[in-house]
Amino acid sequence: MKDARITLVTLGVADLTRSSRFYEALGWARTDQGNESVVFLQGEGIVLSLFGLEDLAKDADVPLETLPRFRGVTLAINLADEAETDRFFALALEAGGTAVKPPEKVFWGGYSGYFADPDGHLWEIAHNPYFALDAAGRLDLTAQPKDPA
């Protein structure tokens, strides 16, 4: 078994119900796992966990008041083309997300934008013409041709 993998991402959230509805509207499937403090949503090859922020800070033994708002972390969803990127951005806003940076052509040759979920977690949505997705929409950089530059 390979150790270099992410199987689950946990986000600390203020309102489990609101955040669960948001991610379900984006296509994540709520599972029967979890309890009053945590919700598990199944995605393609990864689970998204929503944990009450105070309970998560307590679990990690981190004082809640010491957590910065911007943590220097973004999550990303790569999409097949610019139109899919625009569609998903609109879906995120319709579901209750906040526009941070609308999708646009970017300096590295792709097309990307950012939205924040209801708790301010940043998500990048992007079309990277140098990273081909497989038929299931997964990204495997080991299967990509080497960039000639």
Topology given in CATH for the domain delimited by 73-134: 2,3-Dihydroxybiphenyl 1,2-Dioxygenase; domain 1 (3.10.180)
Residue 112 Cα to chain centre, angstroms: 14
Asked whether 90 and 80 are in contact (CB, 8 A), the reply is no
Contact 39, 20 (CB under 8 A): yes
- Strands (E) across the chain are located at 8-13, 29-34, 38-42, 47-52, 74-78, 98-105, 111-116, 122-127
CATH 3.10.180.10 holds for 1-63: yes
- Reading the chain (149 residues) residue by residue, the pLDDT tens digits are 567 677 889 999 999 999 999 999 999 999 999 888 899 999 988 899 999 888 888 877 888 777 667 777 889 999 999 999 999 999 999 999 999 999 999 998 999 999 999 988 999 999 999 888 888 888 877 776 666 55
What's the predicted TM-score (pTM) here? 0.82
Q: What is the domain partition of the chain in residue ranges?
A: 1-63, 73-134
User: Residue written as tokens 């960039």?
Assistant: 147
